[in-house]
Amino acid sequence: MTTTTTLESRLAAVRQRITDAETRAGRPAGSVRLIAVSKTHPAEAIAEAYRLGQRDFGENYLQEALDKQAALDEPGIVWHFIGPIQSNKTRPIAEHFDWVHSVDRLKVAERLDAQRPADKPPLNICLQVNVSGEASKSGVDFAELPALAQSISGLPHLRLRGLMTIPAPTVDPAAQHAAFRALRQAMEDLALDDLDTLSMGMSDDLEVAVAEGATLVRIGTAIFGARARPLG
């Protein structure tokens, strides 16, 4: 079997998992958008997924992402930045991405807003929430989320779309459901207009995330295979 066949069959399998999860949840087919997380994989892998119809790609490491963007000239790719953000590296993110899922402080949002090029539409933003309460994890706490969301929703060059989370890894289905449900509840509690996005679910827990209302799932390993570098 060639690499191409492997990527093709893996992508098809992920699409089927999403469709099955939508059906089980009583949600319309196509209500969950798939982001292919291509971090650590080469531009050729992105081009191959593109030929198979994939358009949304997620990247974690800024320089690696910029290198791959420069190597690709496929039209219509939607780029999602999903990794930790250093506040002195916001300009290339504002210039070269369509979505940022990992905003967790106002300073970063204000810089992205100021640096978003005037000829581009507002940058789509998800606030990363620390649902598991781990001290070491990035993401805003539930207690601080409403004030942060309120401030960011007023920034003219950003469009606050919703919330993102990476729960603490667990194989306990009840804990997986609880984490995703908490994110959905937090978004409902914000009661801001125009929030339409719950970015949650990865290779191992996408079914649970879709059951709890995910609108974007971020899938790496199940599409591109194992990464040589650890998750960052």
Ligand X SMILES: *Cc1c(COP(=O)(O)O)cnc(C)c1O
Rule CB under 6 A: which residues touch ligand X? Answer: 37, 39, 60, 82, 166, 202-204, 218-222, 231
Least distance in angstroms from the C-beta of 193 to ligand X: 26
Residue 95 or 204: the one with the smaller Cβ distance to ligand X is 204
Least distance in angstroms from the C-beta of 130 to ligand X: 13
Residue nearest to ligand X (CB): 220
CB 33 within 8 A of CB 215: yes
Four-point Cα dihedral 172, 85, 37, 193, nearest 10 = 80
Alpha helix stretches (DSSP H) within the chain: 3-24, 43-51, 62-71, 90-96, 106-115, 145-153, 173-190, 206-211, 221-224
CB 143 within 8 A of CB 137: no
Least distance in angstroms from the C-beta of 222 to ligand X: 6
Using CA atoms, how far apart are residues 162 and 183, in angstroms rounded to an integer? 10
Least distance in angstroms from the C-beta of 4 to ligand X: 20
Using CA atoms, how far apart are residues 84 and 156, in angstroms rounded to an integer? 23
Residue 148 or 214: the one with the smaller Cβ distance to ligand X is 214
Residue 98 or 157: the one with the smaller Cβ distance to ligand X is 98
Residue 60 or 197: the one with the smaller Cβ distance to ligand X is 60
